[in-house]
Amino acid sequence: MAQQPIELILLKQVASQLALPIFLVNPGGDLMYYNEPAELILGRRYDETGELPLSDWSVLFTPEDEHGDPFAPEHLPLVRVLAERHPVHGGFAITGLDGVRRKLSVTAVPIVGLGDRFLGAVALFWEEGTA
């Protein structure tokens, strides 16, 4: 695997110290990391899933709309950020790998390094009804 940009390495370190669930992807959409608070919502430790391509993680957690219909991966805020390169906020439900359905609010933003280098995107999310 190629060396990761220092900004992403540092972002992973910061995310590991925060109580806010965080999900980090590279410019191609490959999952690079999610922190311990995200593990509780996604239903599996990051150490057990590891890095995953977009095609896998975007359906792994079974995203659904408010009616319980499948939520197309291209509508996920994090995937939209990769395509549009601007912040996106949205809500949807997932069934985590622990079998529990959770309604989420998600804010995703692009990660831009010095010199306007597009480095990927990060999603901050929380389960609706929790503070």
pLDDT confidence of residue 2 = 66
CA–CA separation, 108 and 95 (whole Å): 19
Q: Please say if the pLDDT value at position 34 is more than 60.
A: yes
- pTM score of the predicted model: 0.89
Q: Is the residue at 92 inside a domain?
A: yes
- pLDDT bracket for residue 41 (50, 70, 90): very high
Determine the structural domain holding residue 96 and report its residue range: 6-109
Amino acid letter for position 21: P
Say whether 125 sits in a helix, a strand or coil.
Answer: strand
**Domain count of the fold of the chain:** 1
- CATH number of the domain enclosing 90: 3.30.450.20
Q: Tens digit of pLDDT for each residue in 112-127?
A: 998 999 999 999 999 9
Residue 129 lies in a domain: no
CA–CA distance, 27 with 83 (Å, rounded to integer):
9
The answer to the question of residue 123 being in a domain is no
d(CA 33, CA 50) in angstroms, rounded, equals: 7
